[in-house]
Amino acid sequence: DAGVTQSPTHLIKTRGQQVTLRCSPKSGHDTVSWYQQALGQGPQFIFQYYEEEERQRGNFPDRFSGHQFPNYSSELNVNALLLGDSALYLCASSLEVGELFFGEGSRLTVL
């Protein structure tokens, strides 16, 4: 049984560019949450998708947007990248109410 898978694992962008990160949830899970983890800090909640809609959102600007597809996979898009967006982006999946399972993350470096 595959767990949560994320792609790409690493990527480098320059300021002002746009990036798309992808997540496939654990089999049977219908809810996807995205987190940003800066170096040396705990993850910060970005937003959560359930039934293809954004259900909850953390304190992140509108430059951060997402999407959930009918197969429950999800994308995180970040526009107009800033140096401060450099971080590990983590995707977590769960049933609507249940234990969260995380992927290995996508390491984004903005130059």
Contact between residue 23 and residue 91 where contact means Cβ atoms under 8 Å apart = yes
Is position 21 an interface residue for other proteins (rule: CB under 8 A)? no
Residue 16 C-beta-side C-alpha neighbours within 13 Å: 0
Would you say 15 or 57 has its CB closer to other proteins? 57
String marking each residue 32-61 x if it binds other proteins according to CB under 8 A: -x-x----xxxxxx--x------xx-x---
Is position 101 an interface residue for other proteins (rule: CB under 8 A)? yes
Residue 72 to residues 5, 12, 29, 33, 80, Cα–Cα distance (Å): 12, 27, 8, 11, 26
SS3 label, residue 95: coil
Task: State in angstroms the smallest separation of the CB of 2 from other proteins.
Answer: 14
Residues that bind other proteins (CB under 8 A): 4, 6, 31, 33, 35, 40-45, 48, 55-56, 58, 88, 90, 92, 94, 96-97, 99-105, 107
